[in-house]
Structure 1
Amino acid sequence: MGVLFLSLAGCSLGESEYLGGNLNGVNHTSAAINYFKVNGYGGPNISPHGYGGGMCCVMLPREWRPGLMMKVEWEIDPDPYAKIKRKTTGYGFDEEAYAKHAANYQQHTASVPLPPYEEEGLCALEVHFFPCHQVKVTTSCWRYPSPNSPIREPLEMKEPAVCPK
């Protein structure tokens, strides 16, 4: 027991290289974000043209440095308002109808640069999802849709007929 205590105490010495921060998301698309992750840390689901967040925590480097990249993974439901057949008895959806709907879910991954932290320091990580499976992140202390937010694209964006390569 004493050895375990000593080894844990040894781990607590010094300052961690990483800080935990809130993970927020903004969905600028008409699809639902079923879930998203940043560097493996899970975020909330987000309704079409909506917000989700305040999820704890995502780990970010205490000190920002050039070249830092974030791996963002997410799943979308391209038809979030579909009418799915319900069970004839009990509660919930008909399993076959739900499986048919869920077969249209799409998974995406993107690597995006982590922008420099503001003078105030690291406030949170806010992930923005755009049409054509584009993603941006910000560490600004100004949350969207503040006019001071570095991301100013409109919340309700339409998916183009053809996405640029």
Structure 2
Amino acid sequence: MKMVGYKLRIYVVAVAQIYVLLGCGSIPMDQASSRHSDSTAVLITPVQHMGKRYSVEDVYVNGQIGGGAGQLGGGGSMSCCILLPGSWRPGLVAEVRWSVLDWDKEDEAETRQGVFTSITKVGQYVAHVPVEYYKRPETLYVHFYPNGKARLVSSFYDAFDSRHPVPFDAEDGGLATAGKIVSHKKAKPGLAEDE
């Protein structure tokens, strides 16, 4: 079973690299990385550590969509792609944007019908987050914590794997960077932020 997961990961990364080579949808991690021929396209996977009451939506890393992480926490989605330098270097930082939704007062009858007026938007955040040391570029995990904090780690291992650099049950954020809140609004899926 583990071999199937490994082969799938290799396939997804190969497809992602072809996608980037064709010039579709990639954003360099920073301006310097676009000059390095050793950059690698990696997937973006959000992981939330705030509990089942919350979800993280509208994740962007340097403008590239990263999906979201539902109420159950980690690895909510994988999005393609962002470029990471082949070798980590000090000062490697990415702009991360995300929204947090509070499902505590969810009206399940409404949400089953696609109406989300009972869901409260805690806020929309932005942070300039350092990418932690990595040996080789792998999936970029964006970990989210309470109080608008985020952390970036590149790892081959899934967020639920004990070998992942950040334990899934970590709740305090450790090395996480505090984001700045840029908006408070009631969640209205399907509407632009300024509507």
Q: 2:63 aligns with which of 21, 25, 40?
A: 40
Q: Does 1:55 align with 2:79?
A: yes
Structure number with greater CO (CA < 8 Å, separation at least 6) is 1
Residues 1:130 and 1:49: Cα distance change in structure 2 (over 3 Å) = farther
Q: CA deviation at 1:111?
A: 1.4
Which residue in 1 is equivalent to 2:99?
A: 75
Answer yes or no: is the 8 Å Cα contact 1:29–1:49 preserved in 2: no
1:37 partner letter = Y
Distance 1:103 1:78 in 2: 5
Q: CA deviation at 1:128?
A: 0.5
Q: Does 1:110 align with 2:127?
A: yes
Answer yes or no: is the 8 Å Cα contact 1:32–1:80 preserved in 2: no
- In structure 2, the gaps of 5 or more residues are 1-22, 24-34, 173-177, 179-195
CA RMSD of aligned residues (A): 3.1
Q: 2:164 aligns with which of 111, 132, 149?
A: 149
Q: 2:40 aligns with which of 19, 27, 41?
A: 19
Residues 1:75 and 1:132: Cα distance change in structure 2 (over 3 Å) = same
Identity %: 24
After the TM superposition, list the runs of 4 or more consecutive aligned residues in structure 1 that deviate by more than 4 angstroms: none
Q: Does 1:127 align with 2:146?
A: no
TM-score (norm: length of structure 1) = 0.68
